[in-house]
Amino acid sequence: MTITEKILAHAAGRDEVRPGEFVTCKLDLVLANDITAPIAIREFRDMGAERVFDAAKVAIVADHSTPNKDINSAMQTKLCREFAREQGLEHYYEAAGGGIEHIILPDKGLVLPGEVVIGADSHTCTYGALGAFSTGVGSTDAAAAMALGECWFRVPESIKFVFSGQLQPWVSAKDLILYTIGRIGVDGARYMAMEFAGPTIEALPMAGRFTMCNMAIEAGAKSGIIAPDETTLQWVRQRAGRDFELFTSDADARYVQVYEWDAGDIEPQVAFPHLPENTRGLSEVGEVVIDQAVIGACTNGRLEDLREAAEVLKGRKVAAGVRCIVIPGSQEIQLQAVREGLVETFLEAGCVVSCPTCGPCLGGHMGVLAAGERAIATTNRNFVGRMGHPQSEVYLASPAVTAASAVAGKICGPQDL
């Protein structure tokens, strides 16, 4: 079996499962946010549920429109806050100790290797970086899971991506996943588990692994996953407050397809509007003038991402007419960025540094685009109207390319500076 099949079999109390089978699995965590939790809470009550199955295994994170941007978002967050208080939820995050859900939950040790996690947010697949099965669901499924502590799945087929070779300068995990989506398309892994492997993946730090699994959904995948290794264990042991189990794929596991690529051939990537599959190598971008640059999101809001951007911005200035917005992924990351002088670097360069929030990624606030404006961002989606006006454009890239573009006023790489 593959690692995904093993995890689902274990959670279903079975010796084995095969792709296409339907299984009911016990859940280790159920997640919702300030956009999806209010719907789930309403459905939870409508189905007659009175208490969540485990107050330690249901998490609500207010991150999409926080701090509240208007009356409606304030009411949404209030509903979440009151439900968390009523149910005695141990993991409700809004201000203190908060941040972007897919960054803070692993950082707080709420997701561990071998676990099964669902979240009412499509980028819940991020946690596959820890060797867990994690996937996004609708708010109604989240409501049922909050009540029952289980969820049904159709066991997905697996598709494997093996990367080998040394990364070129300024090429990161974001470039690897953009390259992958560019090769297979936004439906190339539809309802499959994307398994990332090979020497290049093994050399990635955890931040890069989170980035890759985060964007598995942009290829239509059910989940993304990387088998846990010593890098994983070193990261997890500092955070885990409970036991966990490790799973890996068998040597004779079956895959729908196996892709093998030399990472040394991959240059920095940019996804053009209006799909993440519209990728081009930096050398093929041409002249693309920008109005805004966004560094952050659940995809690239970790400390390592901020360091990468600061390395490019240090001693330089954001181009006239460009708004560069930097959004740390959590309060903890923001504090460390202050201590390391990264925030000072950003401010001296002319950036705006935000509190942790999803913000502009979904066109929520803190950087909504007007008609005709272009942004380059480290976010994960560039659909029509994703960051604001339907006639705006979003280009996806790594922190390094996004920071360099902010300085140049057009899309370019650090080497061009």
- Contact status, residue 116 vs residue 26, Cβ threshold 8 Å: yes
Express each pLDDT in 324-333 by its tens digit. 999 999 999 9
Distance from C-alpha of 202 to C-alpha of 169, rounded to nearest angstrom: 18
Express each pLDDT in 176-219 by its tens digit. 999 999 999 999 999 999 999 999 999 999 999 999 999 999 99
The yes-or-no verdict on residue 167 having pLDDT over 90 is: yes
- Predicted confidence band at 292 (pLDDT cuts at 50, 70, 90)? very high
Distance from C-alpha of 227 to C-alpha of 253, rounded to nearest angstrom: 13
The yes-or-no verdict on residue 16 having pLDDT over 90 is: yes
The yes-or-no verdict on residue 65 having pLDDT over 90 is: no
As a whole-number percent, the residues of the chain with pLDDT over 90 amount to 94
Express each pLDDT in 108-160 by its tens digit. 999 999 999 999 999 999 999 999 999 999 999 999 999 999 999 999 999 99
| Nearest residue to 355 (alpha-carbon basis) of 324, 327, 323 | 327
Distance from C-alpha of 402 to C-alpha of 175, rounded to nearest angstrom: 12
The yes-or-no verdict on residue 223 having pLDDT over 90 is: yes
pLDDT value of residue 353: 96
Q: What number is the average pLDDT over the span 303-326? A: 97
pLDDT value of residue 92: 97
Residue 181, classified by CB atoms within 10 Å of its CB into exposed (0-12), middle (13-18) or buried (19+), is buried
Distance from C-alpha of 156 to C-alpha of 161, rounded to nearest angstrom: 16
The yes-or-no verdict on residue 66 having pLDDT over 90 is: no
The CB density around residue 199, as the number of other CB atoms within 10 Å, is 12
* Domains of the chain, each with CATH number or no CATH: 3-260 (3.30.499.10), 270-412 (3.30.499.10)
Q: What number is the average pLDDT over the span 37-49? A: 97
What pTM was estimated for this model as a whole?
Answer: 0.94
Tokens of 236: 């997890």
Paired residues of 374 in beta bridges: 393
Residue 246, classified by CB atoms within 10 Å of its CB into exposed (0-12), middle (13-18) or buried (19+), is middle
Distance from C-alpha of 346 to C-alpha of 318, rounded to nearest angstrom: 9
Backbone angles phi, psi at 322, to 5 degrees: -110, 135
Express each pLDDT in 361-386 by its tens digit. 888 888 999 999 999 999 999 998 99
- Predicted confidence band at 323 (pLDDT cuts at 50, 70, 90)? very high
| Nearest residue to 105 (alpha-carbon basis) of 122, 88, 84, 119 | 119
The CB-side HSE value for 234 (13 A sphere, CA atoms) comes to: 5
Judged by average pLDDT, the poorest of 51-55, 233-237, 267-271, 380-384 is 380-384
Strand duo 279-281 + 269-271: pairing: antiparallel
**Mean of the per-residue pLDDT values of the chain:** 96
The CB-side HSE value for 399 (13 A sphere, CA atoms) comes to: 28
